[in-house]
Structure 1
């Protein structure tokens, strides 16, 4: 009696009827579950077979074996060789299972067996081996698993594909839609039932086959990209070689490719234009990952290029575009140049540098920028589809028809020159009233640059497309706000609408043109693209529900507040500052409705305290201008209560005895009327303005408005002037406890001593604080009119000789007035201060406007940048003999450009903008103009703040 281990193999001699019946039952069940695949070959679905070949049934087949032996045999078959046992049962050779056990070959993963193994190690007869070898293919149908890199499959295997139909073809092979028998793999398998199979052509000389090379390259590229797990890069499911042909398996695109989408009427997922822009933005983030490949887990960085971007290679699944076909793609070390010899292919979307049309289409050298061109072509076609539908896409292609050397081409260029047809087409599309179409056309212009060095890089294109997508959705949200406010406006709804508008402004998507301007500083914000989109969609749904339901306004307002706040949280620190400045400027325009500190808004929402401060100041300013406030003596104090002390330039330090009979140090500024002494009307106006200014500057103000708090005014006939009193920060009752110093004095004292000059960060911080303070002053409706480095003051304890230049205060309001264009005005009389005033104002002497304060700020910023007072920067007889306009031009030509070397390009641009100070001539610009303030905020405040915020972080 032969034994293998403890297994008694003699049990297979002399079968009984009961065993035969059970064996027949198992054989019948196996035959019943057999199926034919798409090629009409029989196979046994594995999962179904495993359900049939249960341990109990196998145990019944082995009924003659003693119990202790039966359990061990059943266990070995169940764990290792159910398929092999099933083949033997079908052939009536179940007794030969002992041969497999004895040869240690009862292992299903070894299927299929070679004929010589069956007759050799396993010791089957020639006939038995022949029958087993023929039948085993039905049971050996391969299973598929995610992550399989490559498998070589036996040519006679029967594929468990119930559908295997060609759906496309290319230069190197065909693409098939494959449906895997759902009963072939278990429920826990991750492999999809429907997938795509890319089969590469078989050449006669496999070693030199272009398809073999393409397969290897694409397999390698996909293996690299699979580590990214990017949702917009086609997922490689597996790879195998079968019947001498290489196959790649991919997730199946449910809706074909972009070429098919653009050639048919619109489908439901793409009924809205914004879906296209969002899909393109997400798709290009995948291209960016190819261009700048980074895998942190294995510390791998490479530069890549797709080399074959076209609509046919962009798969469509619902509202998503998937990047596919990496057969021509390349990856290199970051140390290498991205230049790659062009691999000849036929394509309408090739960049002009790919081929030399004048030299028999000789292949050129391409960079990653060739992908940018190709994507620009795709964007142009998508924009055409939005505006004109699939017929428009066909007409666009026909318009590009171009003949050269007997060839008929449809490229987006004409060799070394641009395509006039494409330029004309995009120009016409640019007139479209569809915002999303215009967005894409403007981006296409940027990408379709003949000079590849002028095309944006991948990260810049990603930012452009993401902002374009956000702009497209934000426009619909803004329209909903407008619709709702047209029927049921309220302060609360107005504030939420302004908050959303401020968010759009901060992100740079107020309009289509702004949305396609590069803003690289927003890369962190835009990296949260999908989350921001979700927030916009949630806000839009909330507004839509407000128009279609009867929910209470309180609930809706609360939800709008939360959703707006969620969007705000996505802003970076610098963008949040921009948000607040835009919000402040806009809300200030409705100060008549929200100025009262005690006022409660309709839904009980609490306004930001600083907003109320600005609105109150603005409102009081309007009342004073209109004469609605008649008590001009409210803040007037008696001259006897003011004891003048130390002189500080044109100002004084004094001791002021207040109503509480306590004395404290104050700052005094003078508003003289000597040259108008006999003009009673002028005196009255100056008196009223002084009273108004005192009232205005006494209001509680935001910390960013760096002005002293006014505590009253008085009249001194001996000086022929009015005095404004200001509290000094942290001043004690004694005037000897503090020491004021001006910016001019600090710069002058340390200009020639490098060790006492502030560092670059301190200069930027000071410049930012001054620019922000001036913006705040203009926001509440007031001009400074006397901004010089002498009117920027710092306070510190006497004797310490330490002055923090991060704590400046604007003084010198003795010439200030509101921004009402018809207000009486006086100018600076100090000749040394005139170099801080715009030449146009010095010449005309009337019509003060925002730009004149900006000019003054520009001169101060220039002093800070060079850390030299103006009189030293321009100390030459030639300069002094110039007119004020010639001096301005000289500064712009000879001095301002040098700021780039010591302060950087952004500081230089801010100063240049201020000193250029476009004044214009329209009357509208003489009044408070929101557009002017926003431009100042963008061109100056934001530029300076970029460094300021960086330091703070």
Structure 2
């Protein structure tokens, strides 16, 4: 086959409506695959009549390959005319790509090669078909150009012109316009014939003479080019625009249909919309598109515009898969100063009541963005109707809202002309909200706001988008939670199913989607915030729903499910929470997982959680041990018969350290320890025996090697009994004692409070947060400290540190001591009552002092530990001792209650200046903020609420403190 024949076979027939379908064009990629550099060289070397020396031919080959391949191809197709290439080369004065000069005029060709001018002119049009690319500038195409369409099928006609489905030849594109659309199917919107265009200096799109079709086209083209900058997936994309043979065209990707068609069809015809929540997601995305039109922002060009679509209706919303795409911007407006313009629509059923005055022959009024919101609300109401009852319900809805004007005109509008509310519309809304699901009532409430007759009462597009996203999150959450309940029931013995169920429940509780008892909370009261990643959240919930459905299906097939994916998705949904809510959700999950008081349940939790969450496993073990420590009759099966007691002779006399002793033990090798003394009265043998059991269990509890790092406690290795002193001693190992000196926080404050240099803010914030975290950890496992004070905060100070080096990092690694009065959070747990040490007593809550008098049986509460912590935080914040801050003395407060009132009035207020308002609020919460929440015994819901309140009002505030 000759080169000419090869090129002829690559020519394709144009389906552009011209010359009866006989016009042809050359797809440029096919052309280049045929006319390769090798074939160019072979062809030029064989040219007859080529009056040129052999050594000159090489220059011709190079020029054709790089500058004039299409020109040479045309000459080949002309048959025996290849030698005319030298005439074209002779006119290349600048050494540029001569191909880019195509098409040549007859006059140019007669000047270059008059012998072949006419036939070259005719064949050149096969090589100059436009190559489409996205975001191209407007093109004015000569009438002889062949459009590279392999399909050009008319789809429909409107007032503006005609819509065609076209297919571009796949080998006539530098890159695929839509890689996912292999057929490259697109549509062109051809406007009615345009008047002759007279361009001024502003270039294409500007003209001195105007006509109706010109206005429509130019306005829509401008709007689309502006909106193209957003690259929003739910705004129709303008591929390109061109004028051809007096008609203007806009080119778009081909969509599957429009929303109007969908609402008239059986739902089975749209498999992508089988799930109700798919519509919710689609509405969220569509609302985002409307929002972007209303509040147009381009950071790249530093432009902010106010926009309005002005013609929202189902027909102008296209459908592609499960996506709704906003289209038809012919009536839209994008302006820097105002979104108002005169209504110019055709009066569709979805127009707002303010668009036209029905009493004045439908005189058109000025409208703004709120009119779009009305139309969108109407569209949402029809979509909700379709979700609930399909196309028959939509037909019934339209019939029920049909009203008649005095002129005799009847329409299925959503208002009653100028008479106000359309009762048929609102009655149907009442019907829609009765559906028992997790979104209909909330959507109906949103629709009512969007279709308020008072324009100012309608939400703006941003508020609509946020509301829809929150509704979608809520709908997906309850779907996921319901599936988890089903899975938990189906796998009754699966700890992993239970753990993930509790995790997603905790997520819902902290976001106020669920109450503690599992009841739903109205969306108006939910904790979903505007600034949250709501889109990412409902997408993640959708993935969890899909994974749960697959897991449940696998269970039906008797295949043991794997929870790896669900655990990973659980981590992801938690990570999407703001940091403070993440902390609350995690805390709630941990509290609920170890909430049981049953030893068997806790053992199961400890064992099952090893593969799920090691922290929960640890907390379960600690709580189990704390219950055993509080039990006056330990179960034989729980002990191995060994005792942790050591002989008193091995404990040497040491140095008093508050109510402790800093000493050493010599049991083969010498080690320095801290001994906490528990004094007792020998008046009843049964209590004494219970005390021994408690000391054994407490030593075991505090000596666990698996205690979480945030508990901040020393390891208790043994205990000693000194009957002569009526005391037991808990022996705590001191880390790195050879280079550190133990001091209490109270001592450090007393020694340094007069120094000009104070600890850095960062070190004090870290110290406060560490102590609060430690106390929170103990409360999660049901253990009350009962003796929080600056005297029971241990600091290990390097022996080489000077007295003034209080800003060193040793301040940030405290240890909680003073467990001699601690007990399990159980009203029946063994306790010794309040300390009689005056320094310790000043840290007690006033109610505890009053309730612990003679004959009182009032239990110690979580709030009392929080109060004591608040006093320590106050000391840290003002860097002064409680005795000085509270003015305890002859003229100072003579009771804990008076001291608290004084501190709240005179001292806490100073924290705002020294430590910031977050720290001040945390201290105030400890001293006053938990009094209205009464705990209700072990494992109670109120205790859970109280611990979460502490997380939110103290821990999270301290976490936000920054130096």
Pick aligned residue for 1:585 from 563, 587, 591 = 591
Name the count of aligned residue pairs: 890
Deviation at 1:856, TM superposition (A): 3.5
Q: Residues 320 and 697 of structure 1: is their aligned pair in 2 closer, same or farther, counting only changes over 3 Å?
A: same
Aligned pairs for 1:340-351 (under 5 A) are: 340-345=338-343
Residues of 1 paired with 2:405 and 2:821: CA distance? 73
Report how far residue 930 of structure 1 moved. Answer: 6.6
> The residue matched to 2:737 in structure 1 has which SS?
coil
1:698 aligned onto 2:703:
yes
1:44 aligns with 2:23: yes
**Which whole-Å CA distance do the structure 2 matches of 1:635 and 1:549 have between them?**
52
Distance 1:715 1:456 in 2: 74
Unaligned runs of 5+ in 2: 196-206, 515-519, 853-857
Contact 2:27 2:171 in 1 (8 A): yes
Matches within 5 A, 1:539-688: 539-540=547-548, 542-551=550-559, 556=562, 581-589=587-595, 592=599, 606=611, 609-626=614-631, 627-629=633-635, 634-643=643-652, 645-649=654-658, 651-657=659-665, 659-660=667-668, 662=670, 664-671=672-679, 678=683, 688=693
The equivalent position to 1:816 in structure 2, one of 818, 822, 833, is 822
1:584·1:779 contact (CA, 8 Å) conserved in 2?
Answer: yes
Q: Counterpart of 1:279 in 2: which secondary structure?
A: helix
Q: Give the structure 1 partner of residue 240 of structure 2.
A: 238
CA contact (8 A) 1:46 1:184 kept: no
More moved, 937-946 vs 395-404: 395-404
The aligned residue for residue 204 of structure 2 is none
Query: Aligned to 2:710, what secondary structure does the other structure show?
Result: coil
TM-score relative to the length of structure 1:
0.72
- Cα offsets for 1:74-105 (capped at 9, x unmatched): 9899932589779989xxx9999999969979
Instruction: After TM superposition, list the pairs within 5 Å mapping 1:252-263 onto structure 2.
Output: 252-257=254-259, 260-262=261-263
Deviations 1:751-786 (A, max 9, x none): 566631422x33332232222212210111111223
Distance 1:682 1:443, change over 3 A: farther
Shift of 1:39: 8.2
- Once the two structures are superposed, residues 433-458 of structure 1 have per-residue CA deviations (whole angstroms, 9 ceiling, x without a partner) of 42355676788899999999997996
CA RMSD between the two structures: 6.3
TM-aligned CA deviation for residue 421 of structure 1: 10
Q: Distance in 1 between matches of 2:349 and 2:887?
A: 63
SS at match of 2:251: strand
For 2:203, the equivalent position in structure 1 comes to: none
CA distance in 1, matches of 2:354, 2:769: 46
CA deviation after TM superposition for structure 1 residue 909, in Å:
5.0
Q: Does 1:536 align with 2:544?
A: yes
Corresponding position of 1:176: 163
**Helix, strand or coil at the partner of 2:812:** coil
Aligned 1:16-165 pairs, distance under 5 A: 37=16, 42=21, 44-47=23-26, 66=48, 79-81=69-71, 142-154=130-142, 160=149, 162-165=151-154
Superposition deviation, residue 797 in structure 1? 3.1
> How far apart in 1 are the matches of 2:894 and 2:390?
63
Provide the residue aligned with 2:275 in structure 1: 272
What are the superposed Cα offsets for residues 790-823 of structure 1, whole Å, 9 maximum, x if unpaired?
A: 4333221346234533112222333322112343
Instruction: Kindly indicate whether the alpha-carbon contact (under 8 Å) linking 2:131 and 2:174 is maintained by their aligned counterparts in 1.
Output: no
Summarize deviations over 1:576-621 as a string: whole Å, max 9, x none.
766654453344247846866999769xx74655444322211122
d(CA) in 2 for partners of 1:98, 1:654: 104
Give 2:948's aligned residue: 935
**What is the 5 A alignment of 1:455-466?**
none
Q: Which residue of 2 aligns with 1:917?
A: 930
Deviation at 1:628, TM superposition (A): 3.6
In structure 1, what is the Cα distance between the partners aligned to 2:696 and 2:551?
47
Following the alignment from structure 2 to structure 1, what is the Cα–Cα distance between the partners of residues 396 and 935? 46
Q: Deviations over 1:639-660 (max 9, x none)?
A: 55545543344x1224253654
What is residue 12 of structure 1 aligned with on the other side? none
Aligned mates of 1:329, 1:883 — CA distance in 2: 73
Contact 1:222 1:326 survives alignment (8 Å): yes
Q: Is the 8 A contact 2:194 2:248 kept in 1?
A: no
Change (3 A) 1:184 1:663: closer
Assess if the C-alpha contact under 8 Å between 2:710 and 2:777 holds in 1: yes
SS at match of 1:729: coil
1:820 counterpart SS class: coil
* Unaligned stretches of 5+ residues in structure 1: 1-18, 333-337
Q: Residues of 1 paired with 2:151 and 2:103: CA distance?
A: 21
Cα 1:147/1:341, change in 2 over 3 Å: closer
- The 10-residue stretch of structure 1 (461-470 or 663-672) with the greater mean CA deviation from structure 2: 461-470
How far off its partner does 1:662 sit? 3.6
For residue 857 of structure 1, what is the aligned residue in structure 2? 869
Paired residue secondary structure (2:656): strand
Distance 1:763 1:442 in 2: 49
- C-alpha displacement at 1:703, in angstroms? 0.5
Q: Could you say if the C-alpha distance between residues 784 and 504 of structure 1 is closer, same or farther in structure 2, counting changes exceeding 3 Å? A: same
Pick closer, same or farther for the CA change 1:595–1:902 going to 2, 3 Å.
Answer: same
Q: Secondary structure at the match of 1:939?
A: helix
Moved more, 498-507 or 854-863: 498-507
Aligned to 2:252: 250
Aligned to 2:202: none
Q: How far 1:278 moved relative to its partner?
A: 3.5
The answer as to whether partners of 2:630 and 2:830 remain within 8 angstroms in 1 is no
- Contact conserved, 1:341 with 1:363, CA < 8 A, in 2? no
CA distance in 2 between counterparts of 1:193 and 1:599 reads 59
Q: Is the 8 A contact 1:815 1:827 kept in 2?
A: yes
Judging changes above 3 Å, is the alpha-carbon distance between structure 1 residues 109 and 799 closer, same or farther for their aligned structure 2 residues?
closer
